[in-house]
Amino acid sequence: MKRRILTIITATALITASLSACGKTNENAGTESASVEAAETDASSEEGASEGTAEGTGDEDAKTDEKPITIVTHPVSCEVSGKEVSTGSYPEIAMTPEFSGQYLNLYSEIYNLNAFWKDSVEYSVNEYAFYQMDSETPIDYPYSSEISADVVRADDALFTVLVSYYDYSGGAHPSHSTESVNIDPATGKTMEFAEVLNDTAKAAKAIHDELYASYPELKDEFDSFTFLDEGQTINDYYEAKINNNLYTWNITTEGLHIVFSPYEMASYAAGYQEILLTYDKYPDLIKEEYIPTSDLEKETMVGAREMEKEMIQPSSPNYVEDENGEFHLVNSEGIKVANKSWKAFTEDGRGPDDGEHITLTKTNEEKTDWLDTEAWADQHGFEVAKLPYSDDDYTYVGEMPMDYAYMYNRLDIYDHSGDTLLYSLDLYDLCNGPDEETGTYSRTTQYIRWAKIYDGTLYVSIGHNGYSSEEPNSSYMVAIAPDTGYVLWRSEPLVANSNNFLLVKDTIICGYGFTAEPDFIYLLDRFTGQIMEKIPVRSAAYQFNAVGDTLYVATYNTAYEFEITTK
């Protein structure tokens, strides 16, 4: 997964933004869709308002007409000496108490999305204003950063949002793209593409065939934009995009709808491509429980309104430029953790410690085509592992996301209650470079997957989404002194890309695997990071949990149980 040219940091993962906004209603504007057509024709136009008004205006009649879901558009602007130098807008998905009360986990996930969109646009508008002020030849019209959202499905199976991005900060043309967010309303979990498909290999072939059949004039471009790893086939490539959730997709009563953004499969001039894989032509493509019985009644379910313009004060952003000319915002808060080397090392050069280590003996193995991690966790009384989370002593919060909201590059550690910040560590250089040994950067975006303080040492797993061939120096463990940011050791790469890891006695239990790559559980010495043992599994480990002397492991297609014994 390649980095965007401008990466954004959020102010905090605990931002207190309201889902029920109030403000001025623009009764004359039309509602902008987040569809591809809208993005192509007028991506910079503002979303308008529906007949509904904001809560708290005193208009009781309008309140009774309020729709369950409202897309609230927030325009923002930055001026210098009375001249508008940058503009933008971000969406907020607001829900009535009656609707959100039915789906509390969905409400929580939408809360996070709203906060991410807000922070992304406000940071970009601020940064674009600085570009204008800093330029020797500023342009006569403002730079712009806009995000728009369109809710296209809202039933018990899926809540689907199509999101459009538009950015212009000089150059030959603006940058715009689209993505989809598909959420299970009951759990609040963002659904992966593979989870709704019956057979990813058949789906990959269907996507390839339909794309080429729908746009025969772009065949040569599609071929030139397909980069195959050694030994990889075209179908492998399209299936890898499914397994990495890299498609913009939504499911309608007609079939599976997929959108490709400019530069995804063809040149900018080729624009967007859209395909519809109908149920008649591609039966059994989608799991039956995700096929809607009716499409969303937009007129009765989704409204829109526009807020008054928010003015942002310009300031100089803190950013660094890497060797590829890409800019990365760096938060000045927190201790900056250095990247000594991409190679494995122990700072004092010592070997495996004589501590108390464990071994694992498999006691149970339940195979399936696909293991529902949510159901597996519920069955055993676990929580699905992801940041932020709390253990008995600390609360761990990811910050400074790169590319996507979950790709954190800074770690804030609070006390258990989450009230007092104890440590703030900027891991951007450790995740993405440059390293001090060679001065090189990561070839893909790496980010914090999991973190845990154990016996005074902070352990962190860092990885990326993709094949090891994209970045072989990835998916590793590090041990850090949390009060100084001093790195004690870095493990070998390709040992840790699971959702979490565990520390049991003096052993780290972690796991690595990806699609066609070998899948193993790794046992590392917690004092040096050295591999003590590796155990083959059928597919990549997603999550580990230990109860007493039993280790529970969820993988893509198998649930394991191991007995933990001391060596």
Confidence band of 316 (pLDDT split at 50, 70, 90): low
Q: Are residues 167 and 230 in the same domain?
A: no
Residue 514: pLDDT band with limits 50, 70, 90: confident
Query: CATH number, domain at 378?
Result: 2.130.10
Q: Is residue 324 part of a domain?
A: no
Residues 313 and 343 in one domain: no
Flag whether 214 is in a domain: yes
- Indicate the pLDDT class of residue 349, thresholds 50, 70 and 90: low
In this prediction, residue 58 carries a pLDDT of 40
pLDDT at position 350:
66
User: In terms of domains, do 30 and 119 share one?
Assistant: yes
pTM over 0.75: no
Domain boundary among 232, 264, 286: 286
Q: Can you give the residue range of the structural domain that contains 522?
A: 331-566
pLDDT confidence of residue 494: 95
Tens digit of each residue's pLDDT (9 = 90 or more) over 126-139: 878 877 766 666 66
Which CATH number does the domain housing residue 108 bear?
A: 3.30.565.40
Element housing 432 (H / E): helix 428-432
Query: Does residue 144 fall inside a structural domain?
Result: yes
326 occurs within a structural domain: no
Whether residues 217 and 134 fall in one domain = no
Sign of CA dihedral 323, 325, 328, 334: positive
Mean pLDDT on 479-489: 92
| Separation of alpha carbons 565 and 199, rounded Å | 38
Total domains present in the chain: 3
Name the DSSP letter for residue 445. Answer: -
Residue 348 has which token pair? Answer: 């004092």
Write the single-letter amino acid at 427.
L
Specify whether 261 is located in the same domain as 305: no
CA distance 31 to 28: 10
User: Which CATH number is 213's domain given?
Assistant: 3.90.640
Clarify whether residues 402 and 272 are in a common domain. Answer: no
Q: How far is CA 363 from the centre of its chain?
A: 35
Q: For residue 26, is pLDDT > 60?
A: no
**291 assigned to some structural domain:** no
Tell me: do 137 and 206 sit in the same domain: no
Helices (H), 244-278: none
Distance, first Cα to last Cα, the chain? 40
Task: Provide mean pLDDT across the span 527-553.
Answer: 94
Taking residues 385-405, report their average pLDDT. 89
Q: Are residues 29 and 137 in the same domain?
A: yes
Q: What percent of the chain has pLDDT over 90?
A: 59
Residue 246's φ and ψ, nearest 5 degrees, are: -100, 5
Same domain, 118 and 228: no
Is there a domain that residue 136 lies in?
Answer: yes
Same-domain status, 254 and 347: no
Residue 294 lies in a domain: no
Question: Does 375 lie in the same domain as 439?
Answer: yes
Asked whether 356 and 505 are in contact (CB, 8 A), the reply is yes
User: Does residue 559 form part of some domain?
Assistant: yes
Q: What is the pLDDT of residue 119?
A: 85
Percentage of the chain modeled with pLDDT above 70: 83
In the prediction, which pLDDT does 256 show? 97
Query: Across the chain, what does the average pLDDT equal?
Result: 83
| Same domain, yes or no: 55 and 141 | yes
